[in-house]
Chains A and B, each alone.
Chain A
Amino acid sequence: MTDPRKARVATVSLAGCFGCHMAILDMDERLIGLMEKVEFDRSPLTDIKTFTRRCDIGIIEGGCCNEENVHTLIEFRKNCDVLIALGQCAIMGGLPAMRNAIMHAAEPLRECLEEAYISGPYLRNMTRLIPNDPVLPLVLDRVYPCSEVVDIDYQIPGCAPSGDIIYSTLATLLDGRFTGFDREDIRFD
């Protein structure tokens, strides 16, 4: 029999702070062992920006705050067998979803952008305009957790999740013996 091929992992940061990707590196030297079983495909870690082949695992950081996030997330769902939401932004919307609290205004999105770029008290915006370059993706009416947009198979909690929980989840998933998280591994700090 030939050697089983390495599992292909794709990752992306949507509306997140990249902290969850940093947390992937928190696996430290365990990464070396892990790399014997996996290879990173489309990911900021490899700078591969499109899918050229199907992947086994997709890891999503951040929720969806604009149309491009949605598009990317759907791409991931199409091209990955198992999709993992990593961290609170991916799971719940997280910090970016604070803007969802502006829900009672007549036009919540406009109010949010105006405060952020025009009327906020601590602003220094020489143009006095809301950025609107044609290459900017359209912003969604609110920030959506990944699971409201596509089916998500697993959610790894934490902000950011610890290197330990990321490692144990990936290691057990790859061995087909994932049964849930250890209570001690679930931390928010």
Chain B
Amino acid sequence: MIETAGVGAAQDLEIAEICARFGNDRHRMLDILLDVQEARRWISPASMDAIAAAVGLTRIAVEGVASFYSFLSLAPKGRVTIRLCDDIVDRFAGLDAVVAAFAEELGIAPGETSADGAFSLEYTPCIGMCDQVPAAMINEVVAVRLTKARAREIAQRLKAGIAPGEAVLPGFAELGVQERVRAQVENNIRQAGEVLLGPVMQDRGLQAAMAMEPGAIIDAVEASGLRGCGGAGFTTGRKWRFAAGTQADRRIVICNADEGEPGTFKDRVMLTERADLVFEGMTIAARAVGALEGIVYLRGEYRYLLDHLHAVLEERRARGVLGQGFDIRIQLGAGAYVCGEEGALISSCEGLPGEPKTRPPFPVTRGYLGFPTVVNNVETFAHVARLLDQGPGWFHAMGTERSHGTKLFSVSGDCERPGVYELPYGQKVRDLLALAGAEHAAAVQVGGPSGTMIGRDSFDRCLSFDDLATGGAIIVFSSQRNILEIVDYYMSFFVHESCGYCTPCRVGNVFLKKAIEKFRKGQASDEDITYLKELSGTIIETSRCGLGMTSPNPVLSSLENFPLVYAALTRPSKDGVKATFDIQSAIDGARGIAKRRSYIFDKDFSK
């Protein structure tokens, strides 16, 4: 018993040390839990007690956070956790064989942890490597372009006790911080545009901003016509003006690097190649609105970028362009799509479960810890730095009437050249498909699952806020693909990612998925189409945040653009009896209990 007490005390010391590292601050709960998870491979009840004591919260408050995020676990995980992206794009690229190879080598199925505590195998939604699938995370190391053979090889090295980095890339340990990033993941920049991916002069935008009054910076950003690149497309200048105009002692600038929308990976490339420009844009925003604190919310899946980003920040501090008043910290996420929604993102930064907040108040008036907060996408900040350097007129001249400048598109799926394309707003879908070698596309998912699924008759539509808006995801599907399989997968994504606060989103998406399954089984009738539309309408109308308001989009846009797919699968019921009702399975349990057969439905009931 003395030994257990000794171990317990030592454990508590380690946790106390982790909590102390974050000032015993309850608002840093997510950081604390991530470190505990890394040290112990799970968040045990005893750990939760210790954390609660250190930060002055109840145990249930700690558990509320720990149970919310999928990268935190309430049961012991393996020392090495392999998370395979199970997105539809990975499935189409041969995920099954990769899973089978890992499962066979490690002796565990997805969802399991090996008995010796060495390995866990899991599925996870899109990890932002859609241009190099199938992809997986092995602890924080990213492995791309997996094949059966490569999965076997990696698993064997892991079993031999080789660290994940070395197991994926022999020689990993000798590489420098930035080299590691580039060795793990390809950039696949296919088309560099004038604003972001072409040649860029360092800190020129910031120099220009330093010579301007804060109000003049906001004027310039507004005059450029820049709209947010995270999906919603709100005018950036207006957002900043609201934040600057709210009376407050503190203001905060947050960069949204959660990039959770399946099919989106352009922020990954920006953070790899243009991190300086992103931080420069944040620093300009801070000057414009009067903020001293900046936070980059980096999705947990991009943990492999963390050291690199810290190095860039350190280097900016050394150059004197950061840390003189305004400074930036990086908040790591923990595997929750909804944390990309700005309210949920702020909750997460505050150390709470990543649940959206009721709006209004909007973050620009009451955001992080109640202070005015500007949340912008990674790409948006980079645009800001460039347009201050080159002038708002230069930026405004590119693009279309209501969408100015260039946009990054992440193209993946059935195409020859998946990767990132920087193009002025207003390109036809057809032109982008031609660049990507996807002329034979049969369907394109514009903007990811929450966006719009279009067919060939819509390929002349334009990529801009006037027509097809997108945060950047362009997922291509050939005529080999089953539309309803895709819709079914996207609904399972939303079912998995709903935070559960609103019943229509938590339950309604499950019902939508079930209805789609009915079509796939050929059991649907005409009235199921009406049901899909009505239920979708209810979910959109009654959900609190953008997740629920967009989650029926895969259903609605495929119904609109692929009506024949649905029509071909509906049939009137036979004799008015529902195809989904199966009397045999309904009475099977009772047969077993009564130990006799049915005198109505079993012809040979007397036997």
Contacts and interface: CB of A to CB of B under 8 A. Distances in A.
B601 A67 contact: yes
A141 B581 contact: no
A148 B585 contact: no
B586 A134 contact: no
B598 A151 contact: no
A77 B589 contact: no
Given A77-B577, A78-B576, A148-B580, A71 B600 contact: yes
Contacts of B601: 67, 71
A83 B576 CA distance: 10
B586 A141 contact: yes
B588 A141 contact: yes
A77 B575 contact: yes
A116 B5 CA distance: 48
A103 interface: no
A184 interface: no
- Specify which of B578, B591, B598, B601 lies most central, judged by the most chain A CB atoms within 10 Å of its CB: B578
A149 interface: yes
B576 A130 contact: no
Interface stretch (A27-35, A36-44, A106-114): A106-114
Interface string A59-95: 0000000011011001001100001000000000000
Contacts of B590: 67, 109, 138-141
B585 A141 contact: yes
A71 B591 CA distance: 17
B596 interface: yes
B594 interface: yes
A168 B593 CA distance: 45
A77 B576 contact: yes
Nearest to A152: B576
Interface in A127-167: 130, 132, 134, 136-142, 144, 147-151
Given A67-B583, A70-B583, A71-B600, A151 B591 contact: no
A110 B593 contact: yes
B576 A109 contact: no
Nearest to B597: A138
B596 A140 contact: no
Interface residues of B, number: 23
Given A77-B576, A110-B593, A113-B593, A148 B581 contact: yes
A1 B577 CA distance: 37
B600 A141 contact: no
A12 B587 CA distance: 22
A109 B589 contact: yes
A113 B592 CA distance: 13
A78 B508 CA distance: 33
B573 interface: yes
Contacts of A132: 594-596
Contacts, number: 73
Nearest to A64: B586
A67 B593 contact: no
A84 B403 CA distance: 54
B587 A148 contact: no
Contact of A78 (B575, B581, B587): B575
Contacts of A150: 573, 576-578, 581
A151 B527 CA distance: 10
Given A144-B581, A148-B581, A149-B581, A67 B587 contact: yes
A78 B574 CA distance: 11
Nearest to A83: B576
B600 A107 contact: no
Given A109-B593, A137-B600, A151 B578 contact: yes
A68 B599 CA distance: 10
B589 A107 contact: yes
A138 B585 CA distance: 12
B597 to A, nearest CB: 8
A136 B591 CA distance: 12
Contacts of A144: 581, 586
A18 B86 CA distance: 52
Contacts of B578: 147-151
Contacts of A151: 573, 576-578
B593 A130 contact: yes
Contacts of A136: 594
A67 B596 CA distance: 13
B542 to A, nearest CB: 20
B344 to A, nearest CB: 30
Interface in B550-607: 573, 575-578, 580-581, 583, 585-591, 593-596, 598-601
A23 to B, nearest CB: 25
Contacts of A130: 593
A20 B589 CA distance: 30
A40 B578 CA distance: 27
Residue among A67, A74, A134, A148 facing the most chain B CB atoms (10 A cut-off): A67
Nearest to A70: B583
A110 B598 CA distance: 17
A147 to B, nearest CB: 8
A134 B596 contact: yes
B244 to A, nearest CB: 50
Given A78-B576, A148-B578, 19 more contacts: A67-B583, A67-B586, A67-B590, A71-B600, A77-B575, A109-B590, A110-B593, A132-B594, A132-B596, A137-B599, A138-B598, A140-B590, A141-B586, A141-B590, A144-B586, A148-B581, A150-B577, A150-B581, A151-B577
16 contacts: A67-B586, A67-B598, A109-B593, A113-B593, A130-B593, A136-B594, A137-B599, A138-B590, A140-B587, A141-B589, A141-B590, A142-B586, A147-B578, A148-B581, A149-B581, A151-B578
Interface of B: 573, 575-578, 580-581, 583, 585-591, 593-596, 598-601
The 5 closest A-B CB pairs, nearest first, are A138-B590, A77-B576, A151-B576, A109-B589, A140-B586
